[in-house]
């Protein structure tokens, strides 16, 4: 197994791709060793595998079970991708309420990470989940929702495959509306006021993010999409699956490889890209393919994501400190995307413990052992900066945090691990993330660790 970064080769013993619930239950009941769960495999630190495991590849378990277009709800098998969901619901003028900014990911992988996108007034995907169906480590099949098996619901969402296999999910949908793109470049110091005035509380603003320009990190381009009745300038309802992303890839290459490339992007490329304001469907804007970012090779260098979250009130303290670490270590940052999130309603491993701004860092790194070790050291510095601002860091990326940092960012990990010990006493469900932080022998029934 490997993931999209190609940095985490893991030798598993077997991979199965079940198409029925019975096959999943039978595999869990009968397999004697560790079991890992794979969705789209876009996590970047071995979260879908561990050495010698049986990997359940969920991607063939991918049917739509029920769509209720009137109450705007869909029930799907967890291995389905957002793209397949979009293709199914688009003819009904419906949209996914919360997902990432690309549509290649599976629903199960997204729930297990508790993902978020650039949707305004929203936050983690848990806010859009009605209920789940799970297969536990003993092979039993149970339902979970905020009303039923509540602890499992709030543990499994954001639980990175530690507690159960998610086999079905019922998600709330929303209207597929037309949106008009707006954009404005401003000093970083003006951004929070801009956000408060133009984005926060505006129900007609559907998507928003702000790109913080490297390497100075002193100005941003805010981009927002407002609901509109204007005629479409983009006729496609979804981005065609064979769309040509070569232009975007060239831009990433210029920004990451050329001397002056970051300046060119900010002052020449972006003004050209954003010269006209598009009117398009919401589903169109939510259907980008990760191919957009794929470099020609990941052999000697690769592109990786990281994400940090800080309370809204710490925004202006955090950014210069983050910038200082990135500059001092000469990190080859392609982009930092700023987003906003409401607080998490109760998942045990919540990354939004309060209302937060998120900083998504997309950067290029070498693949050598020395390069990986250098990344680990500046990542730990950045985590410390986020923690000292009462913030957190995101878990689907490379596993660099010390045990102490993990505990500080996820203070309810003790409760999560106690739940794991109860529902998975043999530690069947394993992967590199939990191999790093879960010590079953150290968990007591009270959740102390």
- Residues in contact with ligand FAD by the rule CB under 6 A: 4, 36-43, 47-48, 58, 78, 100-102, 105-106, 108-110, 112-113, 115-117, 160-161, 165-166, 290, 293, 305, 396, 431
C-beta closer to ligand FAD: residue 286 or 330: 286
Distance in angstroms (rounded) separating the CA atoms of residues 286 and 117: 9
C-beta closer to ligand FAD: residue 67 or 334: 334
Query: What minimum distance in Å lies between the beta carbon of 110 and ligand FAD?
Result: 5
Distance in angstroms (rounded) separating the CA atoms of residues 352 and 340: 10
Given a contact cutoff of 8 angstroms between Cβ atoms, the answer to whether 164 and 419 are in contact is no
C-beta closer to ligand FAD: residue 65 or 196: 65
DSSP 242: T
> How many Cβ atoms are within 10 Å of 128's Cβ, its own excluded?
19
Distance in angstroms (rounded) separating the CA atoms of residues 333 and 329: 11
C-beta closer to ligand FAD: residue 57 or 280: 57
Query: What minimum distance in Å lies between the beta carbon of 395 and ligand FAD?
Result: 9
Distance in angstroms (rounded) separating the CA atoms of residues 365 and 329: 12
Distance in angstroms (rounded) separating the CA atoms of residues 273 and 261: 15
Query: What minimum distance in Å lies between the beta carbon of 229 and ligand FAD?
Result: 28
Close Cβ partners of 237 (under 8 Å, ≥ 6 residues apart): 90, 176, 281, 283, 284
Query: What minimum distance in Å lies between the beta carbon of 238 and ligand FAD?
Result: 17
Query: What minimum distance in Å lies between the beta carbon of 48 and ligand FAD?
Result: 5
Residue with the closest Cβ to ligand FAD?
109
Query: What minimum distance in Å lies between the beta carbon of 36 and ligand FAD?
Result: 6
Given a contact cutoff of 8 angstroms between Cβ atoms, the answer to whether 227 and 177 are in contact is yes
Query: What minimum distance in Å lies between the beta carbon of 190 and ligand FAD?
Result: 25
| Number of alpha carbons in the 13 Å side-chain half-sphere of residue 142 | 17
DSSP 376: H
282 beta partners? none
- Residue 407 Cα distances to 320, 349, 413, angstroms: 25, 10, 7
What is the DSSP code string of 185-197? Answer: EEEHHHHHHHHHH
Query: What minimum distance in Å lies between the beta carbon of 298 and ligand FAD?
Result: 12
Lookup: tokens for 302: 């690769």
Distance in angstroms (rounded) separating the CA atoms of residues 243 and 135: 37
């Amino acid at each position: 197994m490997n993931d999209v970064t190609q940095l985490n080769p893991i030798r598993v013993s077997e991979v199965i791709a079940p198409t029925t619930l019975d096959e999943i239950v039978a595999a869990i009941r009968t397999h004697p060793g560790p079991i890992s769960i794979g969705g789209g495999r876009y996590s970047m630190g071995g979260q879908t595998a561990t050495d010698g495991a049986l990997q359940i590849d969920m991607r063939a378990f991918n049917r739509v079970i029920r769509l209720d277009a009137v109450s705007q709800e869909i029930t799907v098998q967890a291995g389905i991708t957002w793209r397949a969901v979009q293709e199914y619901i688009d003819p009904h003028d419906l949209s996914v309420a919360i997902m990432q900014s690309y549509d290649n990911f599976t629903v199960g992988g997204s729930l297990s990470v508790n993902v978020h996108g650039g949707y305004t007034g929203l936050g983690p995907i848990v806010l859009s989940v009605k209920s789940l169906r799970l297969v536990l480590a003993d092979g039993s099949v149970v339902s979970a929702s905020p009303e039923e098996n509540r602890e499992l619901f709030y543990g499994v969402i954001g639980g990175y495959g530690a507690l159960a296999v998610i086999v079905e999910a019922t998600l709330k949908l929303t209207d597929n509306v037309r949106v008009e793109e707006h954009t404005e470049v401003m000093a970083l110091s003006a951004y929070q006021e801009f956000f408060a005035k133009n984005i926060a509380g505006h129900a007609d603003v559907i998507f928003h993010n702000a790109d913080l320009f490297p390497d100075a990190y002193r100005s941003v381009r805010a981009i927002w999409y407002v609901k509109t009745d204007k005629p479409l300038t983009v006729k496609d309802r979804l981005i065609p699956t064979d769309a040509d992303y070569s232009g975007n890839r060239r831009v990433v290459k210029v920004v990451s490889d050329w001397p002056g490339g970051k300046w060119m992007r900010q002052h020449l490329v972006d003004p050209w890209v954003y010269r006209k304001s598009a009117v398009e469907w919401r589903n169109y804007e939510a259907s980008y393919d990760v191919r957009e970012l794929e470099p020609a090779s990941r052999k000697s260098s690769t592109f990786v994501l990281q994400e940090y979250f800080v309370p809204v009130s710490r925004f202006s303290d955090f950014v210069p400190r983050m910038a200082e670490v990135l500059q001092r270590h000469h990190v080859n940052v392609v982009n930092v995307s700023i987003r906003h999130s409401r607080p998490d309603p109760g998942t045990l491993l919540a990354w939004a413990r309060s209302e937060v701004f998120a900083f998504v860092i997309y950067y290029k790194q070498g693949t050598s052992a020395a390069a990986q070790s250098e990344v680990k050291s500046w990542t730990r510095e950045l985590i410390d900066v986020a923690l000292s601002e009462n913030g957190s860091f995101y878990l689907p990326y490379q596993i660099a945090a010390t045990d102490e940092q993990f505990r500080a960012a996820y203070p309810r990990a003790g409760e999560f691990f106690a739940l794991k010990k109860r529902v998975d006493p043999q530690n069947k469900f394993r992967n590199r993330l939990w191999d790093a932080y879960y010590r079953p022998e150290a968990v007591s029934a009270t959740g102390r660790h």
